[in-house]
Amino acid sequence: MKGKVRIMESAYTLANRELEEIRLKNKEKESIRHSEVLLKAPRLAEIESELMKQGTRLLKCVLNRCEDFEDIKGTIQGLQKEKSQLLIKNGFDENYLDDIYSCYECRDTGFVEGRRCECLKKLIVKNIGENSNLTEHMRKQRFENFDLSLFANQDDEGGHTLKVMQIVCDKALSFAETFDETKDNFLILGNAGTGKTFVTSCIGNRALERGKTVYYQTAFKLFEILENNKFNKVEEDLVDIVKYIYDVDLLIIDDLGTEFTTQFTLAALFDIINSRIISGKSTVISTNLNFEELSNTYSQRVTSRFMESYQLIQTVGKDLRTILKLRNKK
């Protein structure tokens, strides 16, 4: 769990830390190159020492407006030319000792003219994804590979299953594209194996692509985290994770109803749902329970929030795991 606490730092903080590591590695490469050249051409040390002296003289000359400016400038240019010739003579490229950058647009600072460079943006998106808690397998589950053919020919009249799942897919995509503007929420009901987790993964991945923060957790594990934090049942500090659960742009709670139902979990569920509605943060919940079972299991306060503030959709069809097994055998 200690590792989990670390990744709850903001994606921006983690991206900047990674950028600092990139800078340090490049400095190490520069140092190695410098040592290589010195080994073959000791004269380099004298040239660089003289360049530093002349650079200081030039700065003083600019500040004091002295007449030696052009002479000093000429000396510096001569030393730089000698340095380039020395490198070539010893089998190196004349730019071998130039500063090394992974991104030459921003020179590894992360900013170009006061704006975030593309390299920093990519690192932020990458770390947002790492914070999501989606498994490697789930990160591959996207709308573009949502295989609707799995729902075809399921022995229902008029292809009802396929039509319903097409609507589910369309509504889920629309939600993933707009939830941050609409402040909407999503409740997915359906039997086991009908694609609920796949749909939630698709939503989560599309949100990540849009640069939104996402946190996925099963209901069982989510309430375990909250309970351990509340009653200090473990040594690790879970405060950052709990804060992230409440603050993340999109919270995904999978398999609601599989947790041990206690007074604590009932209260915790309402608090999460209600707090996130009030703060305009969107939540996606999936469950094997139908709405009547939800009403019987959870308080009226919870189900009323579902009715008032959630889009309710129902997945249908046969267990996809069985269908996939049969398809793979062919």
pLDDT tens per residue across span 34-61: 999 999 999 999 999 999 999 999 998 8
At 329 the pLDDT is 65
Q: What is the mean pLDDT of residues 91-108?
A: 95
| Helix runs in the chain, H state only | 2-7, 11-40, 43-64, 69-89, 118-131, 136-139, 160-182, 196-209, 219-231, 239-247, 263-278, 291-297, 300-309, 320-329
- Whether the predicted pLDDT of 110 surpasses 80: yes
- Whether the predicted pLDDT of 158 surpasses 90: no
- Whether the predicted pLDDT of 236 surpasses 70: no
Q: What is the mean pLDDT of residues 15-39?
A: 96
- Whether the predicted pLDDT of 4 surpasses 50: no
pTM surpassing 0.95?
no
Q: What is the mean pLDDT of residues 224-229?
A: 91
Model confidence at 131, pLDDT cuts 50, 70, 90, reads confident
Model confidence at 1, pLDDT cuts 50, 70, 90, reads very low
Least confident of 109-113, 146-150, 263-267: 146-150
Tokens of 5: 């606490």
At 3 the pLDDT is 41
At 129 the three-state DSSP class reads helix
Q: What is the mean pLDDT of residues 136-150?
A: 89
Longest CA–CA separation in the chain, Å: 95
- Whether the predicted pLDDT of 2 surpasses 80: no
Least confident of 30-44, 139-153, 249-263, 300-314: 139-153
- Whether the predicted pLDDT of 8 surpasses 80: no
Considering the segment(s) 132-329 as one domain, its CATH architecture is: 3-Layer(aba) Sandwich (3.40)
Model confidence at 171, pLDDT cuts 50, 70, 90, reads very high
Q: 255-298, pLDDT tens digit by residue?
A: 999 998 999 999 999 999 999 999 999 999 999 999 999 999 99
Where in the chain do CATH 3.40.50.300 domains reside? 132-329
- C-beta separation of 222 from 265 below 8 A: no
- C-beta separation of 83 from 89 below 8 A: no
Tokens of 280: 């305009």
Q: What is the mean pLDDT of residues 68-91?
A: 94
At 268 the pLDDT is 95
At 100 the pLDDT is 97
